[in-house]
């Protein structure tokens, strides 16, 4: 059973890392200039922060 949990944790980590990489690519390609009030851009940044927090929490739990 422990192997199954490890596999799931590794799969979750891989999915989070891929999502973070995709968001980073999207953020880098975002058209400039970017206003402070750009809701879509700020949402992308918030999603990336959330993914980073999830990765840290996942690593902390292990």
55: tokens are 């990765």
Tokens 């590794």 belong to residue = 10
Sketch the domain layout of the chain as residue ranges: 2-61
pTM: 0.83
Residues in Cβ contact with 9 at an 8 Å cutoff, skipping those fewer than 6 apart: 58, 62
Reported as a single tens digit per residue, the pLDDT across 14-51 is 999 999 999 999 999 999 999 999 999 999 999 999 99
- Looking at residue 52, its pLDDT comes to 97
Residue 62 is predicted with a pLDDT of: 59
């Amino acid at each position: 059973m422990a192997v199954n949990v490890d596999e799931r944790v590794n799969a979750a980590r891989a999915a989070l890392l891929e999502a973070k990489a995709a968001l980073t690519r999207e953020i880098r390609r975002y058209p400039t200039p970017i206003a402070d009030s750009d809701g879509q851009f700020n949402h992308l940044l918030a999603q990336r922060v959330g993914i980073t927090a999830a990765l840290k929490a996942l690593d902390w739990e292990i």
